[in-house]
Structure 1
Amino acid sequence: MHYDPETRTLPHNPFKALVAPRPIGWISALDAQGRLNLSPYSFFNGVADNPEMVMFSSLGRKDALAFAEEGGEFVCSFASLDLKDAMNATSAPLPRGESEFAVAGLTPAPSRKVRPPRVAESPAAIECRWLQTIPLVPLGGGEATYFMVVGQVVSIYIDDRFVTPEGRVDTGAMRPLMRGGYFDYFAVDAQARFEMRRPAGGGDTPRG
């Protein structure tokens, strides 16, 4: 079949089920007054590695976006299968200034180079400085409903348990939690991991 986003030829939009599973950016940020927000975003990913940059995309100018701009920094904590219920709890629409950390029973831990804390229970966290916010204006113009926030990575925390003796991160052992379509979530099975090398000249580097 062919699905047309304009005519909606299926009862449920397949887009998120196809662009999936998506990593979850669990974003913590402080506003200019020092108020803390923690929210999960499944429109999240790394977009560059030299220097390292990440992005998350917000439907409307929600607190995570506004706080990242005001404070100039944000942290992305790793959402794992063990933390699925806490992650979900932080998606509740709380009043500004009310702590998602407290509601979800999470512990804020000091970051190394930025002011917003990371989630102490999370096995890894990426500290970022805000670079820019890009309104995602649709074809034909009009007002943007989504806004993409880009940050540059300035420090990375990794629980020592998940660093191998060779100095690699054992991502599978952390059991990343990812979002699918509808109400579906996925978790990585470390046993399904395999390694592939690109053809000669294909871009493999020692950094990867």
Structure 2
Amino acid sequence: MRIDFDPAQCDRDVFYRLLTATVVPRPIAWVSTTNRDGSCDNLAPHSFFTISCVSPPVVQFTSVGRKDSLRNIEDTGAFVVNLAPEPLFEQINATATDFPHGISEFDAVGVAREPSVRVKPPRVAASPVALECELHSTLRLGDSTVVFGRVVHAAVDRAVLTDGHPEVTAMRPLSRLGKDEWATIGGLREIARVPYTEWQGGEAGSTTD
């Protein structure tokens, strides 16, 4: 038996918790930004994150409400998506604290920076992958804003590359689940996609005269 939830009738937070517990796991964009005058670097995890386009390379994350990350990106047109790795779990969670405006999460939490190559915001020095982005566009949806960033530079730690390709077991990315739950990569399963010409469940694999 199913229980029905009508978003028009539910409390906003109730349906938010239902969505975030259902759409799992969600990769984390650990977004670094800089304010307009360059006096404060911001760092915050955003778990509504994915790839939007490959050519040109565009990634997106959603800011629920208007936070420093969004304001800084609107002001400067740039941000960095840093991979959120398992060894930095506690620091990543700490940067989600609602620090007052003007306080840098890098400094408050003790996260080491390194300069970016193409954009002004710094990268997280200990993150194995950083995607430097220039703002492509934003889309306002209700209480949230979707931020699209064109990736103009990618920096990958040699230690996580195997044959030139990022290896997930070396990167050890975290993901968000519902409530206060997080997930590691856990066990892995591999399976190749089956071309239709080799599909044995239909007629494509058979031949007729």
TM-score, with structure 1 as normaliser: 0.86
CA deviation after TM superposition for structure 1 residue 103, in Å? 1.8
> SS at 2:100's partner residue?
coil
Confirm or deny that 1:87 pairs with 2:92: yes
CA deviation after TM superposition for structure 1 residue 168, in Å? 1.1
- In the TM superposition, what whole-angstrom CA distance separates every residue of 1:60-100 from its partner, at most 9, and x where no partner exists? 11110010111110001110111110001101111222110
- Corresponding residue number in structure 2 for 1:38: 43
Q: Provide the aligned C-alpha RMSD in A.
A: 1.8
Q: Distance in 2 between matches of 1:3 and 1:159?
A: 46
Confirm or deny that 1:194 pairs with 2:198: no
Matches within 5 A, 1:25-174: 25-34=29-38, 35-136=40-141, 144-164=142-162, 166-174=163-171
What stretches of structure 2 of length at least 5 have no aligned partner?
198-209
- What is the one-letter code of the residue matched to 1:185? W
Does the CA-based 8 Å contact 1:89-1:103 persist in structure 2?
no
- What is the one-letter code of the residue matched to 1:156? A
What stretches of structure 1 of length at least 5 have no aligned partner?
137-143, 202-208
Moved over 4 A (4+): none
CA deviation after TM superposition for structure 1 residue 131, in Å? 1.1
Q: Distance in 2 between matches of 1:180 and 1:198?
A: 30
Structure with higher Rg: it is 2
Q: Distance in 2 between matches of 1:3 and 1:185?
A: 26
> SS at 2:165's partner residue?
coil
The correspondence for 2:180, drawn from 179, 183, 197, is 183
Seq. identity, %: 38
Does the CA-based 8 Å contact 2:159-2:170 persist in structure 1?
no
Alpha-carbon distance change, 95 to 47 in structure 1, aligned in 2, over 3 angstroms: same
TM-score, with structure 2 as normaliser: 0.85
- In the TM superposition, what whole-angstrom CA distance separates every residue of 1:163-191 from its partner, at most 9, and x where no partner exists? 11x211102221110001111111113x5
- What is the one-letter code of the residue matched to 1:172? T
Q: Distance in 2 between matches of 1:33 and 1:186?
A: 37
CA deviation after TM superposition for structure 1 residue 7, in Å? 4.0
Q: Distance in 2 between matches of 1:94 and 1:114?
A: 24
CA deviation after TM superposition for structure 1 residue 8, in Å? 4.3
Task: Give the paired residue count.
Answer: 191
Alpha-carbon distance change, 199 to 155 in structure 1, aligned in 2, over 3 angstroms: same
